[in-house]
Chains A and B, each alone.
Chain A
């Protein structure tokens, strides 16, 4: 009996998740090898300095331009090479990514201004707003689109984030994150699905909208659309609903949390529970981390709580959601031609593989730094081993946030229509309220003291 040839698109090297894992882990291992031999990755992980006078920025650029050039070359080769294997043209990527890099540098410079916090000029929000304004007021040249690969950038950043998160913290906090995220995911999905069906929408469409609000945004929507066999025109509507609310929540959640003076760990958990997409939530969580000092907790706690809640608590379950809904669609809903069939192997096939890189990075750094005291770790290993990875992570995230802004052209999104938007919005309201109650009142003391 002949077996089917593996689908070209299913080969592991044809998925950006594995490339993000590879790029992230190469940096983590390189950082360790340099550290173990008395050097550091710091030379490559250059950042604009904190400044009060712009002459300091000019002086830094004059002194460090070879480092910025090397860093640009590294990112360009790593991301461009990965995209070339994925079928994108390297020559098209390079000039576009050069624009992204220069914009990211300018955004960093603004964020390093000593008065930036006073004006809430958090780099993630600046990157996003700048991109949104440019994309929606100008007609961007088509060549610029090739470098706007926000998903590859954010996945690489999340792998690097793993290097700054002790494995013990993930193991201890994981069950709490999974419990909280599961409650919110199931309730949110149920609300969106129920309202959508009551409003007369097709069940497959209702399921796509439901997971878009409950699990991991656009990624969940396309995964479940394929699993249940949703109609082609329904997916862009779900994408538009997710994007519109996700962009709004990037601004609403941090400033609402700030108005409520929530500690960074609690706000990070709330954002992780109530944002719809990894990249959007990271922008909100990183922006809130910048408020550390105005509110309790550290900047890292916001990112750590968000990542535990969103990545560990919600993202990893997308394959299970897809298979369960495929079974329900096949057995309970009317079938049409071309609607596919359930397959248990999709739990692994759809698993967001960058999470494996995130866990491996955490395990590796925990292993190589776990032999000394906390004081030694903070004095020696943080500045030479971990901090360069953290700064490279910040670059990857800014590339992502700027790309999101530049690709969000509201006029290009599908018209959502009243009923889908109403159903999705009902889920948003429940999600935000329930996420707040769980993050602040039920598990508040846990998230507030995360990692301490």
Chain B
């Protein structure tokens, strides 16, 4: 099961993109995570498509849509 999820890319089209709670704007992410811009950056490749889930208070790769999704 996990290998199928891993291979098809998380939850595919049912991810967090477009959710009102999913914060991905780099300046907003840097403001939410103090110190991030000292030795890294929210514009860096390593951040991938991560964002901050404001509904659950987590940093997440946004690959799994949850019941709190709000367009």
Does A48 interact with chain B (Cβ within 8 Å)?
no
On chain A, the residues within 8 Å of B5 by CB distance are 330, 341-343
Determine the chain A residues whose CB is within 8 A of the CB of B10 once the complex forms: 340-343
Would you call B63 and A10 a contact (CB within 8 A)?
A: no
Alpha-carbon distance A80/B6, docked complex (angstroms): 38
* Contact pattern, A 1-21, Cβ under 8 Å of B = 1, otherwise 0: 111110111100011111000
Chain B residues whose CB sits within 8 angstroms of the CB of A330 once the complex forms: 2, 5
Q: Are B56 and A336 in contact (CB under 8 A)?
A: yes
9-residue interface stretch from A113-121, A212-220, A291-299, A427-435: A212-220
Does A62 make an interface contact (CB < 8 A)?
no
Roughly how many angstroms separate A337 CA and B62 CA in the complex, as a whole number? 11
Q: Which of A7, A18, A233, A318 contacts B17 (CB 8 A)?
A: A7
Q: Check if A86 is an interface residue, CB within 8 A of chain B.
A: yes
Q: Which of A66-74, A102-110, A177-185, A408-416 contacts B (4 or more CB under 8 A)?
A: A408-416
Binary A-proximity of B32-62 (CB < 8 A = 1, otherwise 0): 1111111111111111111111011111111
Q: Could you say which residues of chain A place their CB within 8 Å of the CB of B18? A: 5
- Contact A239-B60, Cβ < 8 Å, known A86-B43, A151-B40: no
Give bound CA distance, A364 to B40, whole Å. Answer: 28
In the complex, A152 Cα to B17 Cα: how many Å? 26
- CA–CA, A229 and B11, complex, Å: 15
Is B9 touching A345 in the complex (CB atoms < 8 A)? yes
Q: A4-B12, A344-B6 are in contact. Are A277 and B35 (CB under 8 A)?
A: no
Residues from chain B with Cβ under 8 Å of A323 in the complex: 6
Q: Is the interface of B mostly helix, strand, loop or mixed?
A: loop
Taking CB atoms and an 8 Å cut-off, the chain A residues in 120-175 that contact chain B are 148-152
**Partner of A341 from B47, B50, B59, B64 at Cβ < 8 Å:** B64
* CB contact under 8 A between A353 and B58, given known A2-B13, A222-B33, A243-B39: no
- Interface residue ranges of A209-266 to B (CB < 8 Å): 216-220, 222-223, 225-227, 229-233, 235-236, 239-240, 242-243, 246
B59 to chain A, nearest CB (A): 4
Q: Are A240 and B35 in contact (CB under 8 A)?
A: yes
A223 touches B48 (CB 8 A): yes
B15's nearest neighbour on chain A, judged by CB, is A4
Given A2-B13, A342-B5, A152 and B46 contact (CB-CB distance below 8 Å): no
Asked if A365 is an interface residue, CB under 8 A from chain B, the answer is: no
A81 vs chain B, min Cβ distance (A): 14
Q: Say yes or no: B45 contacts A346, CB within 8 Å.
A: no
Contacts of A327 in B (CB 8 A): 2, 6
Q: Which of A14, A18, A148, A351 contacts B37 (CB 8 A)?
A: A148
Please report the C-alpha to C-alpha distance between residue A229 and residue B57 in the assembled complex, in whole angstroms: 10
User: Per-residue 0/1 for A342-386: is the Cβ within 8 Å of any B Cβ (1 yes, 0 no)?
Assistant: 111110011111100000000000000000000000000000000
A residues within 8 A CB of B47?
9, 222-223, 226, 350
A344 to chain B: closest CB distance in Å? 5
Does A331 lie at the interface of the complex (its beta carbon under 8 Å from any beta carbon of B)? yes
Most buried by B among A277, A339, A340: A340
Q: Report the minimal beta-carbon distance from A261 to chain B, rounded to whole angstroms.
A: 29
Q: Cβ of B45 and Cβ of A338 under 8 Å apart?
A: no
Say whether A279 faces chain B, with CB atoms less than 8 Å apart: yes
Asked whether A86 and B37 contact (CB < 8 A) given A230-B58, A349-B48, A350-B45, the answer is no
CA–CA, A185 to B5, complex, Å? 27
* Chain B residues, CB < 8 A from A337: 55-56, 66-68
Partner of A340, one of B34, B41, B63: B63
CA distance A378 to B44 in the complex (A): 36
Alpha-carbon distance A242/B40, docked complex (angstroms):
11
Smallest Cβ-Cβ distance to A400: which chain B residue: B39
What residues of A have a CB within 8 angstroms of the CB of B44 in the complex?
15-17, 151, 219, 222, 352
Beta-carbon contact of A232 and B39 below 8 Å:
no
Measured in the bound complex, the distance between the Cα atoms of B56 and A276 in whole Å is 29
A153 vs B61: C-alpha distance when bound (angstroms): 26
Among A220, A323, A339, chain B packs the most CB atoms within 10 A around the CB of A339
| B24 and chain A: residue at smallest CB distance | A9
A-B contact pairs, 12 of them (CB 8 A): A9-B51, A17-B45, A217-B39, A226-B47, A229-B61, A231-B58, A232-B58, A233-B57, A277-B39, A323-B6, A327-B6, A343-B6
Please give the residue numbers on chain B whose beta carbons come within 8 Å of chain A beta carbons, in ascending order: 2, 5-7, 9-13, 15, 17-18, 24-27, 32-53, 55-64, 66-68
